[in-house]
Amino acid sequence: MSEENDQKFLQTLIQELELDSKTNFNSSLDEIGWDSLSVITVIAVFDEVYSITLTADKLKDCKTIKDLADLSKV
């Protein structure tokens, strides 16, 4: 997918999860307070931005926001 979609994913995630504006692709999921609500939100945002449906199982190995965005390239 495109850099444009990746940026849209990041910005939408920041907005939906009410994250600090300094959050970036290198931010760890632990830093952003990753929890079950975050998982549901990421699945919804991912579908909206990339038109790809993820399962929670695919998120289990992700450590950073970049890892999440990279799932669109698999």
* Cβ-contact 63, 28 below 8 angstroms: yes
pLDDT number for residue 8: 97
Share of the chain above pLDDT 70, in %: 99
Neighbours of 48 (CB within 10 A): 12
pLDDT tens-digit map of 8-41: 999 999 999 999 999 999 999 999 999 999 999 9
Query: What CATH superfamily classification does 3-65 receive?
Result: ACP-like (1.10.1200.10)
* Cβ-contact 48, 10 below 8 angstroms: no
pLDDT tens-digit map of 33-61: 999 999 999 999 999 999 999 999 999 99
pLDDT number for residue 64: 97
